[in-house]
Amino acid sequence: MGGADARIVRNTALVILALVALRLVAAAFTPITFDEAYYWMWSKNLAGGYYDHPPMVAYVIRAGTMIAGDTELGVRLVSILLALPMSYAIYRSAAILFGGARVAATSAILLNATLLAAVGTLIVTPDAPLLVASSFVLFFLAKVLETGRGVWWLAVGAAVGAALLSKYTAMFFGPAILIWLAAVPKLRRWFLSPWPYLGGLVALALFSPVILWNADHQWVSFAKQLGRARIEDFRPVFIAELIPTQIAFATPLVFILGAMGLHALTWRRAGALASRVLIETMFWTIVAYFVWHSLHARVEANWFAPVYPPFVIAAAAAANLVQWKPRARRLVDFCLRWAAPAGIVMFAALIVQANTGILSGYRRDATVRSVGVGWRELAAEIEAVRARTGATCVLAPDYGTTGWLAFYLPRGTCVVQQNQRIRWVNMPEPDPKQLAGKLLYVDELREGGHPAVNDLFAEMTQVAQLQRKRGPLVIETYGIDLLEGAKGDVLDRSPPPEAR
C-alpha cells in the first residue's frame, strides 16, 4: 500500500470512528423508541423467532445490555459498534469490485453519512443487523469473484443466513445472486459446482431456528410478514412516498450520487461486467419488490436497508471512475465534498429535534410519537399512582406502551399487554396472583372509554390523568384506570388474524 493509499485508509478510519462516537453519545441521552422497548423485552426471553420478526435484533440488544446494562446506551451499544465491521465490508467490497482506495473510502464514508446508517444503527430495529449482514453478503460475493474459490460460497451462505435471522427481506438475496450468475457468462460455471448449493445449506441451517419456531406457532410470523401486500389491495397512492423518503434517508447528496452511479453502471458500462452486474442485481431485485409492494401497501423508508451497500458503491463509482461532462462533473464534485458534512448536520438536527422539539418551535413532528421523550417522568408518576392504589400489575393495550412501561417503570414491576398475547408467547405467563388483585390500566384518553376492558371487571375507576410532554408540547394524555373484581381471565387470548 502506497503512502497516499495509507493516508486514505487512516483518514477514512478516523472519520468512521468519529461518527460512531457521535452515535454513542446520542444513544446515551436519547430515550428509546417504542419499538426498541418492545425488542428489549424480546431480549430478556431469547427464542428462535417472534411474532413480528426473526430473532437477531433481540440477540444484538441482549449483547449490549450485558455490557452496559438496561439503559438506552446498553440497548443500542452493539448495534452502533456493528457499523465498524459493516464499514470494513463495504470498503473491501468496493476495493475488489472497482479497484483503488479512493473508491473504497468513498463508499464507506458515504454509507455512514446516510441517515439510514446513522439513525438505523442508533435506533435498534431488525434493519440494523440486516444492513450489516447485507454488507457482508456483498463482500463475500466480491471475494467469490476475486478469488474464484468455491469456499467463499460458505461465507456467502453464512452472511445470507445472518441476514435472514435479521429480517425476511433477505430472502431476495437468493434471486439476486442467481440473476448475477446467469447474467455474467464467466460465472455460469458455478451452477455446475457444489459450492453455491453448500452455501445455500449453510444459510438454511442458520435460518432453521426461525423455521422451527414458526412450525411450532402456526407459521404466524411468516404469515404476518409475507402476507403484508396482497394483490387484491391495489392502492398505488403509496408509491408516491418511495422517492421522497429515500432522498431523506439517503440524504439528498448521497442520493444524487447513487442515482448517477446506477445510471453510469447501466448506460456507461463503468467497471467490469461482473462487478457492475453484481451491484445492479443486489440493488434492483429488492427495489423491484418494494415498488410492487408499494402498489398495495405502505413501504417504510428503513425497509430499503439491504440495498444501501450496493447503492453507496455505485455512488462512489460515479464520483471517482466516470468521466462526466463539465456540468455533471461540478455536480458530482459538489455532492462528494458536502455529502458527509450534510449527513452529519442532518443527523445532529434530527437528534436535537427528537429530544427537544426546539427546531419546530415545539410543534409536532415525525419523531414525537415514536421516541420516548417524557416517558421517564411519566413512568415515575404512574409508579406513584400504582403504589398509592396498591395495584399489583399494570396493563396496557398495545405493545409500544407495554414496552415503554416495562423499560421505565422500576425493574420487576408486573407489566402486561392485555390483548395480542401472541406477541409475548416467548415470555413466561404473568403470575395469576398478580392479575387477581387491583390492576392499573394505562392508555391514552379515548372518547367512549374502554368498554371491552370495562366488561371484564366489576369496577373500573379513573384515578389519574397524566401527560407525556416534550418541552411545552403535550404529546399524549393518558388515563390511568383502577381495575377491580376480575370476572374471569383478564387477558384476551384470541388468536391473531394470521392464525385463524
DSSP annotation of 395 reads E
For residues 126 and 114, give the distance between their C-alpha atoms in angstroms, rounded to a whole number: 17
pLDDT at 446: 85
pLDDT at 16: 96
pLDDT at 209: 97
For the four alpha carbons of 220, 223, 229 and 230, in that order, the dihedral sign comes to negative
The pTM is what?
0.94
Tell me, letter by letter, the H, E, C secondary structure of 431-490: CHHHHHCCEEEEEECCCCCCHHHHCCEEEEEEEEEEEEEECCEEEEEEEEEEEEEECCCC
Strand 439-444 relative to strand 393-396, pairing:
parallel
Cell of 268: 456507461
Mean pLDDT per block of 10 residues along the chain (500 residues) reads: 80 95 96 97 96 96 97 97 97 94 95 96 95 98 97 98 97 97 97 98 98 95 76 72 90 96 86 93 95 85 94 94 92 96 96 94 91 96 96 95 97 94 93 91 88 88 95 95 91 79
pLDDT at 87: 97
Strand 457-470 relative to strand 473-486, pairing:
antiparallel
8 A C-beta contact, residue 409 and residue 420:
no
pLDDT at 499: 65
Residue identified by cell 419456531 is: 213
Between helix 56-68 and helix 72-81 the angle, nearest 10°, is: 120
For residues 303 and 298, give the distance between their C-alpha atoms in angstroms, rounded to a whole number: 11
